Amino acid sequence: MTIRVLIVDDSRFICNRIREILQQESDFKVVGIAANGKQALQMAVQLEPDVITMDIEMPIMDGISAVKEIMAECPTAILMFSATTYAGAQATLDALSAGAIDFLPKQLNEIDGDREMAKRLLRRRVRLVALQSKRIKLKSTADVSTAHVAARLPKKIPPIHLADKKIELLVIVASTGGPVAIQKVLSQLPGNGSFPILIVQHMPHNFTESFAQRLNQLCHVTVKEAADGDILKPGEVLLAPGGKQMRLEAMTGKKAVRITEKQAGEIYSPCADITLASIADKFSGNVLTVVLTGMGADGKEGAVALKKKGFSIWAQDEASSTIYGMPKAIADANLADKIYSLDAIANEFKKLR
């Protein structure tokens, strides 16, 4: 299968470099290059690419505006290229909220110090985004064709039956598609919750602070990027910092997080498996873990340890996942107590106290 790519960037050098990297392998075909968002919209309509790689800062029409226009006019799978500055992180989160699927740092040396590894990672991420292309187009068609029917029907959300025991810790883990999914479910939690919340989202080190600030503004609960030694508090969310690992530890009779540097051989940082395994080891109360959209199988091994303690695990369903990888691994291993849509999970979060 040939993956047809439209590259959008006001730097001709960057465009040529991306094209060169992609076309080093035969399954990629660059069908066009656009210098701004306005051109990108026109070419997306004309060329119908499988994937668009999109810069953020461009003249005439910026990348965020272009994502919004493209998703409204001709929904397409979009991979953002972002600066790793604070402003770049904020803009990337805006682009994901507007409909982009995933993002990468614009400078390849910020992806990985090994240049060849960085090139392979770029091609891999474009392939993963391409897998969503047909689904996005089909979903768009289905939305239009059933809109008049859906408008007349009440939304049916399957009931979720919580464990009889009171929840004492909520854990949410995610990867690709996670920022939007987490925002959706976390914003439904009431502000007077009686339990702490931990979040592990695969994200670079300079993005998690911006993500925590955004969630804190949009949610009723308090959200912060976790720091070493932070004590778990009811109604407070600790987001694992990007590029590091977060473990649960017992400190002076209280539960706290230990933040450590990524070690050699660790694929993900933060890593859901590491966090979940530490929870299974250190936490004796009732834990609910929710595994949301994301590529790979991070969280599966940690979930095994949680199940041995009798803790509850929910997994997001395939239909509502951006990438059905992490929740699929949970479901396939029969580790999920329940499998629900994102809407259903968000609806149930409204009731948690």
**Residues with catalytic roles:** 175, 202, 298
d(CA 138, CA 304): 35
Under 8 Å CB-to-CB from 218, ≥6 apart: which residues?
183, 187
Residue found under tokens 């649960």: 248
- Using CB atoms within 10 Å of the CB of residue 337, give its burial: 0 to 12 exposed, 13 to 18 middle, 19+ buried: middle
Least Cα distance to 176 among 139, 130, 221 occurs for 130
Tokens, residue 262: 């990524």
Distances (CA, A) of 76 to 48, 126, 165, 319: 8, 13, 44, 17
Rounded to 5°, angle at Cα 288 from 263 and 90: 60
Tokens, residue 203: 């994200």
Residue found under tokens 């778990």: 232
